[in-house]
């Protein structure tokens, strides 16, 4: 009576489309469940989908080859594109501060892992496709595995008689080693180096005094006679740092206005300032003293409001072109973009989804809203034209053949690097034509996690077929030993160089270690174990460049040594 249900849910050697979909759903559903279970402070999250896929594949679950290829590649594309949009803004801005140093350390680790793989190739005699799989698993790098498989497909298309091993086998064997290896290294290094997270946090805060901090607003009273009669333009120009005067009230008056740059300062004027904490304090000390005036904040004619950029007519225009103050008597005091606060310089170009903090009258704000858009509902609706346009550009970029004379086939960025690079550039420049960078955070997380779940399910089920036999056939314990070299040697060198030579804060170093191995499980563990969100920041700074380099290293090793 329930034969139809058994046929649907139980494994079969030659599945239908429906049975293939069921296998994928089982792998993802079970993986998410087990990924939420805690082992001490460790949770595997979506990484557990890989393991449940292996188990299902071992017990006979299969996916039709065409569906398998589609699910694997489409999942990878979604994942890397989501990552690019998520970390792109902080990735580019970080190079002005510590990002360059962090990325040099992280990329050096990637290259060292590739050198170790080459050494193992000559010492052990293993095929390079197996070693690339071992390397990708040892550093928990999914895009690298995807790039290796894409490169092998290209070689097979050009040389159909050649037979290759599946790198997913080595990846599946060594993946747990990569996860636990990074976590174990973080634990041991904290103990051996006698790290106190509270002390590291204090040192981190001290080091950030002269770096980019959130914008603040403070009130001040002008008392320095040297500046009486000078225009706001002259004062700010002479000061030489970015300060916005959002409100002004003359002494003895209750009238508050948003001042133009040609207004002259008078004795005992009260100003509302916006800028970096240190810059604002310096400005106040130069012109006068802090103020406790309440009228400048409570004036009924002026109010603050956030306005979202949602109209195409203003996208990629700068604030000087819009000239909101002279046209509508409305001043922009801050711009919020991808979690960052930006001072509104005249040359600042507006991107779709930017949030402007403005000050002005109700009438002026209403007029500007009609021009800029301010449709929060529109931001909540997924713009599939923009999303799939960006994905298409990523696939096209990843498919461009790059001919290198000494290699057997042209090298391609592939489905891993192509969409990632496009997403990074779109997030940096705000978009290309109708393709923009804004996707709300919930949609990005959904796209990213759905993509990696689909990829893990497809790879896991495929690798699980004959996994035990392959472990015995290839002597999996030896592969774990080889993987240990790729996991631990670069990690230990990174720890020593980063801590003792580059003097990197341990909280940041934990994020760099997790980011260099593109391991979200290790990142989740480190934030809980060290009771800090700082590792997330350094993880995001190194993840994009590391991912690109791991993709290139995996592809080049396949092309050169197979």
pLDDT per residue as tens digits for the range 185-194? 988 998 898 8
- Which range (25-29, 129-133, 185-189, 337-341) has the least confidence? 337-341
pLDDT of residue 426 exceeding 80: yes
pLDDT tens for each residue of 340-388: 777 787 788 888 888 888 887 777 788 888 888 877 777 777 778 888 8
3-state secondary structure at position 273: strand
What pLDDT, on a 0 to 100 scale, did the predictor assign at position 479?
93
pLDDT of residue 183 exceeding 60: yes
Report how far residue 528's alpha carbon sits from residue 526's, in angstroms, rounded to the nearest whole number: 5
Overall average pLDDT of the 45-51 stretch? 78
Q: Mean pLDDT: which of 64-68, 207-211, 410-414, 514-518 is highest?
A: 64-68
CA nearest neighbour of 252 among 274, 269, 235: 269
Residues 6+ apart with CB under 8 A from 118: 557, 561
Tell me which residue has tokens 């005036």.
293
What pLDDT, on a 0 to 100 scale, did the predictor assign at position 327?
67
What pLDDT, on a 0 to 100 scale, did the predictor assign at position 465?
81
Overall average pLDDT of the 482-504 stretch? 93
CA nearest neighbour of 45 among 452, 548, 380, 394: 452
Which domains are seen in the chain, by residue range? Answer: 215-377 (3.30.70.1450)
Phi and psi for 540 in degrees, rounded to 5?
-65, -30
What pLDDT, on a 0 to 100 scale, did the predictor assign at position 406?
67
Report how far residue 479's alpha carbon sits from residue 494's, in angstroms, rounded to the nearest whole number: 23
pLDDT tens for each residue of 199-253: 888 887 776 654 545 677 888 999 999 999 999 889 988 888 888 888 888 887 7
> What DSSP assignment string belongs to 409-450?
S-B--HHHHHHHHHHHHHHHHSEETTEES---HHHHHHHHHH
Residue pair 375/308 in contact by the 8 Å Cβ criterion: yes
Neighbours of 251 (CB within 10 A): 12
pLDDT bracket for residue 115 (50, 70, 90): very high
pLDDT tens for each residue of 294-321: 777 665 566 778 888 888 788 888 888 8
Report how far residue 133's alpha carbon sits from residue 117's, in angstroms, rounded to the nearest whole number: 10
Q: Is the pTM of this model over 0.75?
A: no
pLDDT of residue 520 exceeding 70: no
Return left, alpha or beta for 91; rule: phi > 0 is left, psi -120 to 50 is alpha, else beta.
Answer: alpha
pLDDT of residue 107 exceeding 80: yes
- Which range (111-115, 281-285, 404-408) has the least confidence? 404-408
Overall average pLDDT of the 169-196 stretch? 86
Report how far residue 194's alpha carbon sits from residue 470's, in angstroms, rounded to the nearest whole number: 42
Overall average pLDDT of the 435-458 stretch? 83
pLDDT bracket for residue 43 (50, 70, 90): low
Neighbours of 197 (CB within 10 A): 16
């Amino acid at each position: 009576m329930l034969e139809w249900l058994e046929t649907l849910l139980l494994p079969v050697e030659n599945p239908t489309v429906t049975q293939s979909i069921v296998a994928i759903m089982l792998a993802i559903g079970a993986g998410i469940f087990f990924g939420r279970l805690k082992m001490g402070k460790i949770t595997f999250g979506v990484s557990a989908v890989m393991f449940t896929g292996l188990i299902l594949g071992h017990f006979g679950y299969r996916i039709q080859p065409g569906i398998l290829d589609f699910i694997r590649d489409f999942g990878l594309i979604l994942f890397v594109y989501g990552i690019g949009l998520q970390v792109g803004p902080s990735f580019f801005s970080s190079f002005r501060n510590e990002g360059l140093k962090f990325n040099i350390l992280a990329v050096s680790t990637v290259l060292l892992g590739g050198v170790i793989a080459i050494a193992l190739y000559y010492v052990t005699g293993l095929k390079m496709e197996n070693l690339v799989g071992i390397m990708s698993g040892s550093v928990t790098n999914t895009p690298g595995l995807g790039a290796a498989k894409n490169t092998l497909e290209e070689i097979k298309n050009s040389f159909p008689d050649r037979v290759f091993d599946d790198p997913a086998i080595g990846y599946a064997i060594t993946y747990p080693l990569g996860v636990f290896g990074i976590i174990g290294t973080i634990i041991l290094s904290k103990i051996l180096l006698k790290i106190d997270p509270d002390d590291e946090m204090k040192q981190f805060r001290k080091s950030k005094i002269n770096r980019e901090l959130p914008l603040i607003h403070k009130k001040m009273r002008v008392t320095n006679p040297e500046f009486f009669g000078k225009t706001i333009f002259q004062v700010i120009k002479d000061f030489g740092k970015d300060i916005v005067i959002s409100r002004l009230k003359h002494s003895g008056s209750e009238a508050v206005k948003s001042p133009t740059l040609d207004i002259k300062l008078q004795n005992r004027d009260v100003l509302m300032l916006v800028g970096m904490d240190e810059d604002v304090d310096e400005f106040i000390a130069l012109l006068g003293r802090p103020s406790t005036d309440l009228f400048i904040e409570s004036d009924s004619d002026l109010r603050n409001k956030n306005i979202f950029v949602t109209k195409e007519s203003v996208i990629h225009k700068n604030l000087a072109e819009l000239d909101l103050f002279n046209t509508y008597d409305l001043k922009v005091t801050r711009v919020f973009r991808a979690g960052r606060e930006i001072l509104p310089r005249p040359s600042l170009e507006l991107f779709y989804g930017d949030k402007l903090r403005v000050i002005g009258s109700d009438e002026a704000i209403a007029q500007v809203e009609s021009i800029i858009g301010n449709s929060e509902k529109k931001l909540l609706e997924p713009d599939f034209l923009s999303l799939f346009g960006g994905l298409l550009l990523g696939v096209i970029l990843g498919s461009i053949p790059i001919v290198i004379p000494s290699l057997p086939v042209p090298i391609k960025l592939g489905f891993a690097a192509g969409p990632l690079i496009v997403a990074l550039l779109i997030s940096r420049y705000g978009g290309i034509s109708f393709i923009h960078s804004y996707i709300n955070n919930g949609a990005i997380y959904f796209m990213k996690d759905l993509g990696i779940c689909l990829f893990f399910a497809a790879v896991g089920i495929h690798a699980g077929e004959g996994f035990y036999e392959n472990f015995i056939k290839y002597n999996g314990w030896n592969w774990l030993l080889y993987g240990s070299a790729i996991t631990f040697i670069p990690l230990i060198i990174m720890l020593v160089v980063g801590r003792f030579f580059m003097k990197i804060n341990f909280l940041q170093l934990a994020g760099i270690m997790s980011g260099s191995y593109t391991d979200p499980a290790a990142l989740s563990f480190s934030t809980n174990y060290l009771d800090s969100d700082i590792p997330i920041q350094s993880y995001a700074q190194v993840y994009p460049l590391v991912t690109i380099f791991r993709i290139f290293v995996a592809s080049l090793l396949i092309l050169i040594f197979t």
